[in-house]
Homo-oligomer: A and B are copies of this chain.
């Protein structure tokens, strides 16, 4: 007797599960339901479709060999019956049926042997006036993306406001600003972009990159109202200002589509995410779930978490497909690896940030370094920045984040550490981590090793780092008489600083430090700087040998300050 699987939701996890199950059980009947018209699309590609990098939405719904993944494709190529425009609105777990409403409004009961919920997520809606106005969008599905693109291709949109500086917000801001030259502002409630994903220091590098490309940021501001004229949006009012806006994109997070699961009595976590085991089974073993609507384990903290990412949804879909077919595949959890392109820059990371680690109760420190992405003698190269998040008590590595150029292979560095996080690596493990090395691709001691070296030096008491924000604080209080800035770079680089700030800034190239030790004041907190933190660290060690220990070394140096857009 042939088995029937019903899968609700046909974007990433659902489509993957359907096809995988069908491949393994060629005799099974597989029904894939989605309430939307467009299915099986690359949702993460929406910003590139809006920007025009991807010219046609069909490309987001096509295979790599250019077949559009529509009902016909699923039927003939995959042997899967796809029903679009079809809403599943009740599950009878006793009878094992799903009640559906078809495009023509008729209802029916679909029986199932195996059921999967891949109902995804929806955009969180701000509870403010004006959200219903025309040209106020979110980006939760392809239809909304098409509506945005339709608006901007009219050429009549001159300014836009994006609410939320998470990665969808930033990608959309880039899309609007870069290709359509729309004056774009981003309003974010937190005091940094990518909150929870990177530290403030790294966020400033990403923000500066976007500012250089014309995007304006209003951080630490909440939107109070969206204002309109004749039913269309005209402005966004925050607590501090009113921004003209002919188009608004709200990207303030997601919430799971889990009403169906809840109504069926399946176990759900706070926030509504569906609880599944590592086989992706819900509390009803005949019902699987995967994708944005489920809760998974955070492999760093061991606690429940959710990762609404297409990459994770696909892996979960395959696990469900295998298990529906009687296999035993496991999805152990995730560490939240991510990468986001910001014009020609990139932020990437995995695991905890210093802030999220502190929230989880770790006594964590973030150690940052700057270093060339390739051998420093190789002609093409650039300085990139990496932060290693370490539990100071156990020396365990909790996370990795960084900023660099789009082509710098920042994601390659994150990829090297992220898979290890579940094994609870120590700083020493990363110090010796073996990376594929050749001068055109990496350094002999790659920045991945360098950041772990720096973390070890800190934990062992040799290195007292200052983050950029510590430096800024010292700098802003430079007239209080407490701080003295010692510049360890070559004279030529340091001279202009020394001349401009003779009372507080001194140039002693590192190789002259021993000989000129008497020129170093012993009654101030020394702020040691060089270009990327290598020489200032060495200076710190040398100073300690001379009994001078009230000193901090700016980990990412002048290069890091430049990357953040600091000016002296």
A residues with a Cβ closer than 8 A to B are 12, 16, 23-24, 26-27, 42, 44-45, 48, 53-54, 59-60, 62-67, 73, 76-77, 79, 167, 309-315, 318-319, 327, 329-332, 334-335, 337-341, 346, 348-350, 371-372, 375-379, 406-407, 409, 411-420, 423, 428, 431-442, 444-446, 449, 453, 460, 462, 489-490, 510-512, 514, 530-532, 534-535, 538, 541-542, 544-545
In the complex, the chain B residue whose C-beta lies closest to that of A437 is: B311
Most buried by B among A24, A415, A538: A415
* CB-defined contacts of A350 to chain B, threshold 8 Å: 434, 436
Q: Is the CB of B419 within 8 A of A420?
A: yes
| A81 to B542 CA separation, bound complex (whole angstroms) | 16
Residue from B313, B414, B438 in contact with A340 in the complex, judged by beta carbons closer than 8 Å: B438
Apart from the given pairs A318-B431, A337-B437, A409-B411, 8 other A-B contacts in the complex at a CB distance below 8 Å: A16-B445, A27-B545, A48-B378, A63-B534, A66-B490, A315-B445, A415-B436, A420-B420
| A329 to B430 CA separation, bound complex (whole angstroms) | 12
* CB-defined contacts of A376 to chain B, threshold 8 Å: 62-64
Most buried by B among A16, A314, A441, A446: A441
In the complex, the chain B residue whose C-beta lies closest to that of A57 is: B377
Q: Is the CB of A512 within 8 A of B434?
A: no
* CB-defined contacts of A419 to chain B, threshold 8 Å: 416-417, 419-420, 433-434
Q: Is the CB of B432 within 8 A of A315?
A: yes
| A335 to B59 CA separation, bound complex (whole angstroms) | 40
Q: Can you list 28 A-B contacts (CB < 8 A)?
A: A26-B545, A44-B437, A45-B378, A45-B439, A59-B377, A60-B377, A65-B532, A65-B534, A67-B490, A67-B511, A77-B510, A314-B444, A315-B431, A315-B434, A318-B445, A327-B460, A330-B428, A330-B432, A331-B432, A334-B434, A337-B437, A338-B438, A411-B441, A413-B415, A416-B416, A416-B419, A418-B436, A420-B420
In the complex, the chain B residue whose C-beta lies closest to that of A313 is: B444
The complex is assembled from copies of this chain, and their number is 2
- A312 smallest CB distance to B (angstroms): 7
| A116 to B435 CA separation, bound complex (whole angstroms) | 25
Residue from B24, B418, B428 in contact with A434 in the complex, judged by beta carbons closer than 8 Å: B418
| A229 to B293 CA separation, bound complex (whole angstroms) | 77
Most buried by B among A44, A346, A372: A44
Given that A65-B531, A437-B309 are contacting pairs, would A409 and B412 also be in contact in the complex, using a CB cutoff of 8 Å? Answer: yes
Cβ-closest 3 pairs across A and B = A412-B412, A26-B545, A311-B437
Most buried by B among A63, A65, A350, A544: A65
In the complex, the chain B residue whose C-beta lies closest to that of A493 is: B65
In the complex, the chain B residue whose C-beta lies closest to that of A379 is: B53
Residue from B16, B167, B371, B511 in contact with A73 in the complex, judged by beta carbons closer than 8 Å: B511
| A338 to B441 CA separation, bound complex (whole angstroms) | 10
| A327 to B461 CA separation, bound complex (whole angstroms) | 13
| A532 to B377 CA separation, bound complex (whole angstroms) | 37
* CB-defined contacts of A444 to chain B, threshold 8 Å: 12, 42, 44, 310-311, 313-314
Given that A315-B449, A442-B411 are contacting pairs, would A490 and B65 also be in contact in the complex, using a CB cutoff of 8 Å? Answer: yes
In the complex, the chain B residue whose C-beta lies closest to that of A535 is: B65
- A538 smallest CB distance to B (angstroms): 7
* CB-defined contacts of A407 to chain B, threshold 8 Å: 407
Q: Is the CB of B45 within 8 A of A341?
A: no
* CB-defined contacts of A12 to chain B, threshold 8 Å: 444
Q: Is the CB of A441 within 8 A of B346?
A: yes
Q: Is the CB of B431 within 8 A of A411?
A: no
Most buried by B among A337, A407, A440: A440
| A510 to B19 CA separation, bound complex (whole angstroms) | 14
| A62 to B435 CA separation, bound complex (whole angstroms) | 22
Q: Is the CB of A310 within 8 A of B437?
A: yes
Most buried by B among A16, A167, A318, A375: A375
* CB-defined contacts of A428 to chain B, threshold 8 Å: 329-330
Most buried by B among A44, A436, A489: A436
- A428 smallest CB distance to B (angstroms): 7
* CB-defined contacts of A415 to chain B, threshold 8 Å: 412-413, 415-416, 435-436
Residue from B76, B379, B510, B541 in contact with A512 in the complex, judged by beta carbons closer than 8 Å: B76
* CB-defined contacts of A490 to chain B, threshold 8 Å: 65-67
Given that A77-B511, A79-B514, A511-B77 are contacting pairs, would A435 and B377 also be in contact in the complex, using a CB cutoff of 8 Å? Answer: no
Residue from B16, B436, B538 in contact with A411 in the complex, judged by beta carbons closer than 8 Å: B436
Q: Is the CB of A541 within 8 A of B437?
A: no
- A276 smallest CB distance to B (angstroms): 14
Given that A79-B514, A312-B434 are contacting pairs, would A440 and B59 also be in contact in the complex, using a CB cutoff of 8 Å? Answer: no
- A82 smallest CB distance to B (angstroms): 14
